Amino acid sequence: MAKRGLRIIVVGAGKVGDTLVNRLADEGHNLVIIDKNEERLTQLANLCDCMCITGSGASHEVLVEAGISDTDLFISVTESDELNLLCCTIAKQFNKNLSTIARVRNPEYISDVNYLRSKLGIEMIINPEYEAAVEASRLLFLPAALSVNSFAHGQAELVKIQIPEGNILDGKTIAYLGQNITNDILIVGVERGADFTIPNGGFELKSGDIISYISTRKTNFNFLKSIGFNTRSVKSSLIVGGGTCAYYLSDLLIKSGIDVTIIEKDPERCEELCDLLPKATILKGDGTNESLLEEAGIKEVDSVIALTGLDEENIMLALHTKAVSTAKAITKINKITFTEAIESLKLGSVIYPKYITAERIISSARSRQAKIGSNLEVMYSLFGDRAEACEFKIREASRVTGVMLKDLQLKPGLIISFIGRDGKIIVPTGSDQINIGDNVMVVTTKKGFTEISDILR
């Protein structure tokens, strides 16, 4: 039987709101969008099936019109942190059972997140810039990777790498990898040009393939070293753009002993950064100026992170970095939606804050939609949205528990990637089974999983 879609109100039709609404609409939820900008609402209404209301999400009259008393989930993602908090607080007064989510970006609030959640009754406070900074830091701690996602409270990682020419994996099957190199990782996806595959044991890897695999952090380092990849964390970073994301990232890197240089063109912001980050080197100037980049050490540093407010500048900086340096390049993309075109440029690692935010919120929506017996803990879109990684917490017995994996009638296009049990990560074989209390991650080409039994035919 099909699951009932949630009734969701989204306040804010900016770039995060737009991404979020389209994804939620695809999942069959009943959506109401509130924004003061009528033109934005019209554009959204033309793209997806949703009700649009022009006005403020903090208005009593507007919330009543939106049907707040019958709503399951309330999300406020306007440009104002204070308005988002206010909207969630007011919405909660109408409906005590309502789940609320607020986007909050100001660094001044980051230490107050737990206080705000408990006092205002907000289920989730999400900070896109901080989440993007955390993702970038993972890549700098493991520069050989194109992307690194964390699961099971950091115990397991989903790592993406590209097989270089002449690498030991070139021409080898997945089964050969397990029998001769390591059986402690699990390859869950292979991208070859425009094609994507969830591979079986007979799949033959080739140079140029982009593979994604599950492992623990320790196993990951050992595996990469065994196949000839550099596992050394970066020691120095050049960050172009001194905005909020740059502050968060610099703070994380400095605390890990990494030297940080920031280029920022706004003199006032430079002064602020000097106060906020006394251990960083702050350079005032245009980060697209080649002479300044050379002076800042672009040819010597281990990594260059493009975090300006202009996507075009970030893309050009990444291309320039790859042309003049061997540094790890990370590019933040805020608005541009031509994902396939961007991937074809071979920029290195690309971070999309709006997608990170949307995925976190959609994961929360699915958890609310799910049955009590199994909660969706984390969800990531993978491979250009062609697959999803879903992590479930198993809270009670079901058709999937106590049965050997080889005996489960699994849907096609799906792989059980790991089982987390008693603080340990198990890379599963056919003789393993899922137990109550486990965390289980599934990678699937199917969309909309909300409970563990969705993996069965």
* Residues 61-98 pLDDT 10s: 999 999 999 999 999 999 999 999 999 999 999 988 89
Look up residue 16 and give its DSSP letter: H
d(CA 98, CA 116) in angstroms, rounded, equals: 16
Cβ proximity of 76 and 103 under 8 Å: yes
Q: Which two tokens stand for residue 401?
A: 């528990």
Looking at domain 240-351, what is its CATH homologous superfamily?
NAD(P)-binding Rossmann-like Domain (3.40.50.720)
Query: Would you give the DSSP letter of residue 170?
Result: T
Nearest to 227 by CA among 168, 148, 146: 168
pLDDT number for residue 423: 87
Rounded Cα–Cα distance for residues 161 and 420 (Å) = 23
> What is the model's pTM?
0.85
Question: What is the CATH T-level fold of the domain 7-126, as seen in this structure?
Answer: Rossmann fold (3.40.50)
User: What fold, for 132-226?
Assistant: Alpha-Beta Plaits (3.30.70)
Q: Does domain 368-455 have CATH number 3.30.200.20?
A: no
- The pLDDT, as a whole number, for residue 374 is 53
> Which pLDDT score, from 0 to 100, does residue 250 have?
98
Q: Where are the domains of the chain?
A: 7-126, 132-226, 240-351, 368-455
Q: Output the six-digit token pair for 170.
A: 């070139």
pLDDT in tens, 414-435: 999 999 999 899 999 899 999 9
Residue 399 near residue 453, CB atoms below 8 Å: yes
Digit-coded pLDDT (tens) for 274-285: 999 999 999 999
**Among candidates 356, 362, 412, which has minimal Cα distance to 27?**
362
Of 455, 435, 434, nearest in space to 444 by CA: 455
Identical topology for domains 132-226 and 368-455: yes
Could you tell me if 241 and 263 are in contact, meaning their C-beta atoms sit under 8 angstroms apart?
A: yes
248: helix, coil or strand?
helix
Say how far apart CA 385 and CA 86 lie, in whole Å.
33
- Reference 11, options 27, 35, 28, 31; nearest CA is 35
* Residue type at 359 in one-letter notation: E
Write out residues in the chain with pLDDT < 50, as ranges.
1, 371-373
